[in-house]
Structure 1
């Protein structure tokens, strides 16, 4: 029974691991910004870049799922 769902387990584990990595990166950036006494404008730019990177990765995954579902890729 588990062998039937091993692909789904691997996919969920992969996405959970990526979410953990993004969280840890965010915590590390927050720590560096606090210790470096960065002005507010610089903090906003850093968080904007981090958000755009994460959203781009998520968009890539969503596009890939739709393309594979349509038989394109």
Structure 2
């Protein structure tokens, strides 16, 4: 049974790992911005860029579902 669903398990594991990496990056960025007293506009720009990276992966996943399904 495990060998039948190997690709699906691998895809889910990859998605979970990417989500974990983005959460870790968000935490690290938040910590660095907090320690260095960055102004609000700087925080907004940094979080927006981080969001764009995450949105790219989300869009890629949606496109894969549309194309494969």
The TM-score with structure 1 as length reference comes to 0.85
Q: Which has the higher contact order (CA 8 A, sep 6+)?
A: 2
Q: Who is 1:6 aligned against?
A: 6
Q: Who is 1:54 aligned against?
A: 54
Q: Residue by residue, what CA displacement relative to the aligned partner does 1:37-61 show, whole Å, maximum 9, x if unpaired?
A: 1001110111111111111221022
RMSD: 1.1
Secondary structure of 1:2's aligned partner: coil
| CA distance in 1 between partners of 2:38 and 2:54 (Å) | 22
Q: Who is 1:35 aligned against?
A: 35
The TM-score with structure 2 as length reference comes to 0.89
Secondary structure of 1:3's aligned partner: coil
Q: Who is 2:26 aligned against?
A: 26
Name stretches of at least 5 consecutive residues in structure 1 with no aligned partner.
none
